[in-house]
Amino acid sequence: MVALTAFVVLRQILALRDNQRLLGTVDGQLSQLREYQDRLTHQATHDSLTGAGNRALFEQHTQQLLTDGETFHVALLDLDDFKAVNDRLGHRVGDQLIQETSRRLARTLGGNGLLTRLGGDEFAVVVRSADDLPILLEQLLAAVEQPAELDGATLRTAASLGVTGARPGDDPAELLRRADVAMYAAKGTGGSRWQWFDAGMDMAAADTARLAADLRTALRDDQFFLLFQPIVSLPGGTATGVEALLRWQHPERGLVPPDVFIPVAERIGVISELGAWVFAQACRQSAAWSARYGAAAPTRISVNVSARQLADPGFVDTVADILQTTGADTRRLLIEVTETAVLNADTAVEQLHRLKTLGLRIALDDFGTGHSSLSLLLTCPVDVLKVDKSFVSGDTAGRAGAIIVKNIIGFTTDFGIDAVAEGVETAEQAEHLHGVGYRLAQGYHFGRPMTAEAYEDRYIDQPALARSGGAV
């Protein structure tokens, strides 16, 4: 009996121990499971490259703050030149830059808010509203813009930031949308700055969206046409060529200027199609003038090409196709590109060389407004340099403009490049330009952009009239 009792007790003790061991194991497994679950949750709400929160966390967090009726702000930050870094230095350095940017933002933000990476080079910061918010935003920008040592190279980068405050009825997507509009406004005014969202901007964004929708159908509905502005020789004012300038006859808005719709066309990706139409139209006009007037036809037609078009790898092939189908004489065509389109863009420079081999001439447009890197003249096959109108008749005309204008003619002559002074509005300006050495000019003083018929009338059929007539 005693033995039996002892046996039962022993078994119970052993069982208890087993249970405890089992419990211990289960406990261990449970905490492992918990850890695993935490890791999964972390992965689902954090970005693997930087360790910052991700879009899901941004949504969760802002939704919670909205539900709780908290007052807070959302700031969206985007690097200004990230694509160029990726293209030039490769994705590895691009990734390093993102990581470094994230570290700096996190360090500057400290415990004052939540940092999330929405993708690419785009970060969203959620902060409690406070009077010193502008200071924090300045600090975030300054932190990102400090030079970074990556892969042995010193990299300087700039960022733009848009910020908006939460309002009743908002949702996470609406907050991001407003911050995005503000961020693009910051970029649009040169970047490297921050910008509040305001309602006016919202209206402008809605208007641009409508314009974008209309642009998609405008080509199909034949709403575009070209005007031609004479480029004349100095001092006589005889037309030697024309620049083709695009116009959009909108059914409700009337005439929309290219400064308004070209950037939209670039953004929504219809610029290549539109640019091809412009080039084809200019080629047809050139061929028609040659057939009709022979030697009296304009020596050259200039066509503007935007940065986006030049970045399109199919651009030169499209140009070659159009030349062939229209039968235009390549020597009579000139492509105008801006400095910014070719600066730091290897593809663009390569495309220019290919255009040259097709027999086209190249003009560098709006010279003096961009970075004006003279080294461009060594890498780009430039035949013509167009001095920006701001130095001739615009804001910068005057002493500084005069010095720039004079210097440009000095080195273009040395380089064997033709210089065209744009924006000549008065006889005095024309005289001065001729005096410092310019032989080619363009501007309202000689002729505004006009239809092909008006051009024929004034400059080919009755050229003497144009020379004595001055501005229209």
# residues contacting Ca ion (CB under 5 A): 4
Q: State the distance between the two ends of the chain, measured CA to CA, in whole angstroms.
A: 128
* Shortest reach from residue 349's CB to ligand C2E, in Å: 18
For ligand C2E, the closer CB: 159 or 301:
301
Among 121, 180, 266, 365, binds Ca ion (CB under 5 A): 365
Residue 245 interacts, among Ca ion, ligand C2E, none and using kind-specific CB cut-offs from 5 to 8 Å, with ligand C2E
Residue 366 contacts Ca ion per CB under 5 A = yes
Binding site for ligand C2E (CB under 6 A): 229, 245-246, 257-259, 262, 275, 278, 304-306, 336, 365-366, 389, 393, 423-425, 442-444, 449
Distances (CA, A) of 409 to 142, 282, 402: 40, 29, 11
Residue 339 contacts Ca ion per CB under 5 A = no
Contact call for residues 363 and 381 (beta carbons, < 8 A): no
* Interatomic CA distance for residues 159 and 153, integer angstroms: 19
* Shortest reach from residue 285's CB to ligand C2E, in Å: 13
For ligand C2E, the closer CB: 10 or 472:
472
Contact call for residues 314 and 352 (beta carbons, < 8 A): no
Residues 246-285, one symbol each (x = binds Ca ion by CB under 5 A, - = not), give ----------------------------------------
* Shortest reach from residue 231's CB to ligand C2E, in Å: 10
* Shortest reach from residue 153's CB to ligand C2E, in Å: 33
Residue 304 contacts Ca ion per CB under 5 A = yes
* Shortest reach from residue 149's CB to Ca ion, in Å: 39
Contact call for residues 175 and 75 (beta carbons, < 8 A): no
Among the residue ranges 216-224, 273-281, 358-366, 390-398, the one whose residues contact Ca ion (CB under 5 A): 358-366
Torsion of CA 255, 257, 262, 265, to 10 degrees: -20
Residue 443 interacts, among ligand C2E, Ca ion, none and using kind-specific CB cut-offs from 5 to 8 Å, with ligand C2E
CA 425 to chain centre: 31
Residue 442 contacts Ca ion per CB under 5 A = no
User: Of 302, 271, 262, nearest to 386 (Cα)?
Assistant: 302
User: Residue 396 is encoded by which pair of tokens?
Assistant: 């910068």
Half-sphere exposure of 311 (CA within 13 A, CB side): 16
Residue 270 interacts, among ligand C2E, Ca ion, none and using kind-specific CB cut-offs from 5 to 8 Å, with none
For Ca ion, the closer CB: 242 or 430:
242
Contact call for residues 202 and 169 (beta carbons, < 8 A): no
User: Of 446, 439, 442, nearest to 417 (Cα)?
Assistant: 439
Distances (CA, A) of 177 to 29, 61, 197, 206, 268: 44, 16, 10, 12, 17
* Shortest reach from residue 365's CB to Ca ion, in Å: 4
* Shortest reach from residue 333's CB to ligand C2E, in Å: 13
For ligand C2E, the closer CB: 162 or 275:
275
Among the residue ranges 21-29, 147-155, 290-298, 300-308, the one whose residues contact Ca ion (CB under 5 A): 300-308
* Shortest reach from residue 398's CB to ligand C2E, in Å: 15
Chain residues binding Ca ion by CB under 5 A are 304, 336, 365-366
